[in-house]
Amino acid sequence: MNNNKSLIDTSACEYDVAIIGFGPTGAVLANLLAQSQLKVLVLEREADVLQLPRAIRFDAECMRVFQTIGLADTLLEQVSAAPGMKFVNAQGDLLIEWQRPTEIGSHGWSSCYRVHQPELEHALRQRLTQNPLLNIKTRHDVFALAQHEDHVRIQYENMRNGELLAANARYVVGCDGARSLVRRLMGSSLSDLKLHERWLVVDLLLKRPMPELGEYSIQYCDPQRPSTYICGAGERRRWEIMVMPDDDLAKINTPEWLWQQLARWITPRDAEIERSAIYMFHSVVAHQWRNCRLLLAGDAAHQTPPFMGQGMAAGIRDAANLAWKLRDVINGSAADSLLDTYESERSPHVKEFIEGAVRFGEIIQTTDLQAVADRDTLLSSAIENFRTPEPRLGPGAHDECTQGVCAQIAPQFSLENGELIDNHVGYQHVLLVTEEAASAVSDHRCVVLQGQAIKAWLQSVGACAVLVRPDRYVFGLAHSPSEITALLDRAFTGGTRSSIEPQRQRQAANH
């Protein structure tokens, strides 16, 4: 710290939540907290959205979050449905097929969408303009956090003029990426899931239509040079190229080297390079996502190789899980221990996706010739038709059950007028109920909906009512009308909602 600079105290301006980092995770969290009528401070060290493409996929569950924010119509003008991925060996033989249907599915959306991340981030930020509850400060860099009994003291620098500032927030969420300062100040280490490889990512803009490249993404499981082709949004196309041990690092990532690697698919006459960069693909999960009033989300809490396209999606799920819990704790309708269920639910959920990406990475990145031969024999003899997993949440703010719909994401139905229910419900709990059981509901703590499609689903799961949380995951169900009141009481007056005991005695990061 420069001792010649004075620290301006803005503690009179209290915030419910401070978000450090304004990428997709932070922007989604800010939108959901704004909908929840919380006062939010956002601090971001960059001046604006980075204009380079990064994430290029999100799934139907993410689209439901964007729908909740009110972005679905805007995004439909920017995105297109993506059909899936194929894994082929060096001879072009199909090893794995991952079909993601482009027609509307059980979530009310297609399974997967192509997106240009800068456009998505601009859309997320645009939703926050003119909102008096939000104070968004770009080019402001946090350098210290001190926890107190009822708030966190945040110290940060205005990078435009060097001014040092301070503010207080009841909770701080670090959405500040893989090198998270918040994670370091929390003292949270990373659990290593054992995949770390360098890949070169190159994004191109087509100069002419090239339908021969195809709509499917292709994983080329070639031991000489594992590579990936991805059909991006609009005219964007991406190749990911594994860096091999004998590559000349002085030449790699030069235009000459890149076009040599891409020659089998595309030439400079067909496209121009938008950007290229070498990345180290990691597979890690933070050991601790919460320390008293400090929490982590997105890449600060977990990092995954890109082989399942779930990096950005995982952060969006974090935000959807966390925002309503922060809201309910801050407004006094839930105990502080509800926030412990954020990590207990999300950590095993995201770990399942990361482990899937690691498994794919082992298939794709295999270079040992005997292992390649064994892989090809095994997979080509019985081609795997992979399906996108929908893992159950870990233990937390839901009824415990090892089977059935509890802790799993609920479908999205249409009402009789054609309206999707998420539009009607907003970021609230909803009780889906049969017409026969509706008379047993005299509760105003959640939205209550019924309809023919809802009734058919309830019958299929053996319930007369199902309570769905704001993040669209099932809290629990009632098998008979007499059980509905108890179901709602468990959700709104304690029970499993705050039953997770703190997993450790948390100490403040700073005193």
Q: How far is Cα 238 from Cα 90, in angstroms, rounded to an integer?
A: 19
Rounding to the nearest 10 degrees, give the CA dihedral for residues 110, 116, 119, 121.
80
Q: Within a domain: residue 251?
A: no
Q: Give the contacts of 445 (CB within 8 A, at least 6 positions apart).
A: 429, 488, 491, 492
Q: What is the DSSP string of 114-158?
A: E--HHHHHHHHHHTTTT-TTEEEEESEEEEEEEE-SS-EEEEEEE
Domain identity same for 302 and 418 = no
Q: Within a domain: residue 324?
A: yes
Each residue's pLDDT tens digit, 74-116? 999 999 999 989 999 999 999 999 888 889 999 999 999 999 9
Domain identity same for 345 and 468 = no
Band of the pLDDT at 4, cuts 50, 70, 90?
A: very low
Band of the pLDDT at 499, cuts 50, 70, 90?
A: very low
Give the end-to-end CA distance of the chain in Å, rounded to a whole number: 18
Q: Taking all residues of the chain, what is their mean pLDDT, rounded to a whole number?
A: 90
Confidence at residue 506, expressed as pLDDT on a 0 to 100 scale = 35
How many other CB atoms sit within 10 Å of the CB of residue 301? 31
Each residue's pLDDT tens digit, 223-245? 999 999 999 999 999 999 999 99
Domain identity same for 289 and 417 = no
Name the residue range of residue 506's domain: 392-511
Confidence at residue 395, expressed as pLDDT on a 0 to 100 scale = 95
Q: Within a domain: residue 294?
A: yes
CA–CA distances in Å: residue 502 to residues 151, 178, 291, 498: 19, 25, 10, 10
Buried b (16+ CB within 10 A) or exposed e, 26-51: bbbbbbbbbbbebbbbbbbbeeebee
Domain identity same for 33 and 180 = yes
Q: Within a domain: residue 399?
A: yes
Domain identity same for 177 and 298 = yes
CATH of the domain at 453: 3.40.30.120
Domain identity same for 169 and 291 = yes
Confidence at residue 402, expressed as pLDDT on a 0 to 100 scale = 66
Interval 481-487 mean pLDDT: 93
Confidence at residue 14, expressed as pLDDT on a 0 to 100 scale = 86
**Rg value, the chain, Cα:** 24
Residue 39 has pLDDT above 90, yes or no: yes
Domain identity same for 420 and 483 = yes
DSSP conformation class of 402:
S
Domain identity same for 172 and 302 = yes
Domain identity same for 126 and 36 = yes
Q: Within a domain: residue 279?
A: no
Residues 97 and 84 sit within 8 Å (Cβ to Cβ): yes
- Of 332, 357, 382, at which residue does a domain stop? 357
Each residue's pLDDT tens digit, 154-172? 999 999 999 999 999 999 9
Number of domains making up the chain: 2
Q: How far is Cα 311 from Cα 177, in angstroms, rounded to an integer?
A: 11
Most confident of 61-70, 300-309, 386-395, 444-453: 61-70
Name the residue with higher pLDDT: 504 or 41: 41
CA–CA distances in Å: residue 396 to residues 17, 77, 207, 430, 494: 22, 37, 51, 18, 12
Q: Within a domain: residue 342?
A: yes
Residues 142 and 1 sit within 8 Å (Cβ to Cβ): no
- Of 341, 357, 373, at which residue does a domain stop? 357
Q: Within a domain: residue 274?
A: no
Residue 221 has pLDDT above 90, yes or no: yes
Residue 368 has pLDDT above 60, yes or no: yes
Domain identity same for 410 and 483 = yes
CATH of the domain at 11: 3.50.50.60
Each residue's pLDDT tens digit, 416-452? 898 999 999 999 999 999 999 988 888 778 999 999 9
Confidence at residue 71, expressed as pLDDT on a 0 to 100 scale = 95
Domain identity same for 24 and 68 = yes
Q: How far is Cα 170 from Cα 147, in angstroms, rounded to an integer?
A: 9
Interval 311-318 mean pLDDT: 96
Domain identity same for 152 and 291 = yes
Q: How far is Cα 37 from Cα 18, in angstroms, rounded to an integer?
A: 14
* Cα 162-164-166 angle, rounded to 5 deg: 150
Q: Tokens 């007499």, residue?
A: 482
Each residue's pLDDT tens digit, 336-357? 999 999 999 999 999 999 999 9
Band of the pLDDT at 382, cuts 50, 70, 90?
A: low
Confidence at residue 53, expressed as pLDDT on a 0 to 100 scale = 78
With a threshold of 0.85, does the pTM exceed it?
A: yes
CA–CA distances in Å: residue 235 to residues 201, 257, 266, 320, 353: 17, 23, 13, 31, 29
Q: Within a domain: residue 148?
A: yes
